[in-house]
Copies of this chain bind each other. A is one copy, B any other.
């Protein structure tokens, strides 16, 4: 790991998650993003409160930290999350270029209270055709136009 974790931030994530259950705002999950020893974004899960299935604690915290810092890269930041990120939130952590993730509960614990995280990790080990959510490629040649336009654009902002 890049640095020694500071348990005060994990304690905060756990507190936020329990408070989120007590208030009825959403699931038992929250995350805190830290840069140079200070919190730059924190959030709990708001899937049901905001009608947004992507509003996990980690996604919400990443969005808040980026908004606060005015950046789309959180390189130099660590995330403390009350539960191991699901595949959505883990991939978001890669896209956000986080340095490290500290988690409280693990996926197996989440499964014991009814969440799909562990099932999703199993799905990602399967080939596309073997997953329970069906997918199919269409219009591949036409779709390449998108990437050709990107490739040819001289002033693109890469991310």
Query: B28 and A53: CB pair below 8 A?
Result: no
Q: Is the interface of A mostly helix, strand, loop or mixed?
A: mixed
Chain B residues lying within 8 Å of A116, measured Cβ to Cβ, are 94-95
CB distance from A148 to the nearest CB of B (A): 8
How many monomers of this chain does the complex have?
Answer: 2
User: With A147-B112, A149-B28 as given contacts, are A91 and B102 in contact (CB-CB < 8 Å)?
Assistant: no
Bound-state Cα–Cα, A135 to B139, Å: 39
Q: Mark A126-150, 1 if CB is under 8 A from B, else 0.
A: 0000000111111110111111011
Chain A residues 85 to 130 lying within 8 A of chain B, measured CB to CB, are 86-106, 109-110, 112-114, 116, 120-121, 123-125
A40 within 8 A of B: no
| Chain A contact residues, CB within 8 Å of chain B | 1-2, 5, 7, 10-11, 14, 17-18, 21-22, 24, 27-29, 47-48, 51-54, 59, 62-63, 66-67, 70-74, 80, 82-84, 86-106, 109-110, 112-114, 116, 120-121, 123-125, 133-140, 142-147, 149-151, 153, 155-159
